[in-house]
Structure 1
Amino acid sequence: MIIREASPTPTARSPAVQKADTTLVLGLGNILLTDEGTGVHVVTRLAETHAGREDVEFMDGGTLSFSLAGAIVATDSLIVVDTAALGAAPGAIRVFEGDAMDQFVTTGPRSSVHEVSLSDLLAVTALEGLLPRRRALVGIQPQDMDWGDRPTNAVAQAIPAACEAVMDIVNRWQS
């Protein structure tokens, strides 16, 4: 499967939108800022290793923008992979599902440099009545968010486990 870059897509205006049967796995981050790009690195690896899966769409969401709302409202199953301030050791992974995800992205500590926040994007889709029914965030504790084109060793070593966490969720939701 090819990683789809986000493109400016208008959001749907009606709850009657036809939701896709696929799970959208959205990797967020800036790959020019060491660990900040981890979500994109995870999605890139997943797209390479699970290219034949037609029930999953892997998308490089970059540094977020409201243009991603169209892709989010078109699915009923969303998994976001991003760095997160977990208050844990670098490379630690934590999964938040459903209401736990909503609470974490709205009240949790911020570690992102994205142009809009994930909570802003989810709020837009919720206001339209089109928030995906199943939602999860796979958060990875960063070590460093300075200039650099690859993650730190601690975070790079966590990428396979983050991939496994994502696919565990996908497989559970698809069964």
Structure 2
Amino acid sequence: MVTSEDTILILGLGNILLTDEGVGVHVVEHLRENPPVSTAHLKLMDGGTMGLTLLIDMEDADAMIVVDAALLDREPGAVQVFEGEDMDYFLRHRGRSPHDIGLDDILDGLRLREAVPECRALVGIQPAVLTVGENLTPAVKSAVPKAADAIQSLLASWKIT
């Protein structure tokens, strides 16, 4: 449960120069233009590709929602929410390069500092294209408001008091 005094970090991740890879950043921009209805303190943040430098902002959050492109083995533009331990499991079992510093590594840093929020979620969006390009593909662009709706549903389910 989240109180109205708690800070909820909504963090959009991704590289906006790699087509659909930047979808998390686009969702945060959409939320800035169409703020979610909530009585909590929301911090909307473009995390881009900042990596471990995000630890400070994440540690300061009482709850967090991360939005990012995710390989979901679904159709492009599909939105899937992973909450709490499901988020941790998904991040641990996805494929990636051993040289990649990912969100799961950042969460491990939070664990070391005993600062992982109980209320946490990943809103993943299936990309279509991950090559150089500044615009989202049509399928992923149409997923932006769907991801924003998923965030609104998460906030409602966290029963902000």
How far, CA to CA, are the matches of 2:135 and 2:26 in structure 1?
Answer: 9
Q: Displacement of 1:52 after TM fit?
A: 8.7
Matched, 1:59 2:45: yes
The equivalent of 1:84 in structure 2 is 70
Matched, 1:130 2:119: no
How far, CA to CA, are the matches of 2:113 and 2:36 in structure 1?
Answer: 32
Q: Secondary structure of the residue that 2:16 maps to in structure 1?
A: coil
Q: Select which of 143, 148, 151 maps to 1:158.
A: 143
The equivalent of 1:143 in structure 2 is 128
How far, CA to CA, are the matches of 1:52 and 1:97 in structure 2?
Answer: 20
Q: Displacement of 1:64 after TM fit?
A: 3.2
The equivalent of 1:117 in structure 2 is 102
Deviates more, 1:88-97 or 1:61-70: 61-70
How far, CA to CA, are the matches of 1:64 and 1:143 in structure 2?
Answer: 23
Code of the aligned partner of 1:157: S
How far, CA to CA, are the matches of 1:40 and 1:124 in structure 2?
Answer: 22
Q: Displacement of 1:51 after TM fit?
A: 8.1
How far, CA to CA, are the matches of 1:132 and 1:76 in structure 2?
Answer: 6
How far, CA to CA, are the matches of 2:10 and 2:95 in structure 1?
Answer: 22
Task: Mark the runs of 5 or more structure 1 residues left unpaired by the alignment.
Answer: 1-19
Q: Displacement of 1:21 after TM fit?
A: 0.8
The equivalent of 2:80 in structure 1 is 94
The equivalent of 1:38 in structure 2 is 23
CA contact under 8 A between 1:63 and 1:115: conserved in structure 2? no
CA contact under 8 A between 2:82 and 2:122: conserved in structure 1? yes
CA contact under 8 A between 1:28 and 1:60: conserved in structure 2? yes
How far, CA to CA, are the matches of 2:134 and 2:100 in structure 1?
Answer: 19
Q: Secondary structure of the residue that 2:142 maps to in structure 1?
A: helix
Q: Displacement of 1:107 after TM fit?
A: 1.1
Task: Mark the runs of 5 or more structure 2 residues left unpaired by the alignment.
Answer: none
Count of aligned pairs between the two proteins: 154
